[in-house]
Amino acid sequence: MGKRRPYILIYAPEARSHLASIEPRYLGLILSHIEEQLSFAPLESTRNRKPLRDPAPFGAAWELRFGPDNRFRILYDVNQSRHTVTMLAIGAKEGNRLRFAGQEMDS
C-alpha cells in the first residue's frame, strides 16, 4: 500500500492576521494541531471536525475545534483537485461568541 500524500496547507492573509492576534503561548498548539488534523484527512468528519452549513463565516466549508475546552476554531476549505487546505479564519470561542482578531461573530 502506498504512502498517502499530505495536503498542502495554505493560510489566507486574513487567517495570518487572526494568528497574530492570538496569545503567543497558544501559537505552537494551534499550528501543530492544524498540521496533525488537516494534512491527511481534512474532509473526514469527526467529533471536532465538521462541515459547515451555508452561509458560513468567511465562506468556509469546514470547522475544526480543539484546545482547552475546545476554545479554538479553524474555518477552512479544501480543494481536492489541487490537494490543498486553505485556512480562512482562526479564532477563539468565548462563551457563545466567536472572536477572530477581536471581531465577534455569533456562533
pLDDT tens, position by position, 59-87? 999 999 999 999 999 999 999 999 999 99
The per-residue pLDDT for 54 is 82
Domains of the chain, residue spans: 9-106
Reduce the DSSP state of residue 46 to 3 states and report it.
Answer: strand
Contact of 78 with 84, CB cutoff 8 Å:
yes
107 pLDDT higher than 80 = no
Which is the CATH superfamily of the domain at 9-106? RelE-like (3.30.2310.20)
Pairwise CA distance, residues 28 & 19, whole Å? 11
Residue 1 scores a pLDDT above 60: no
Give me 91's grid cell.
Answer: 479564532
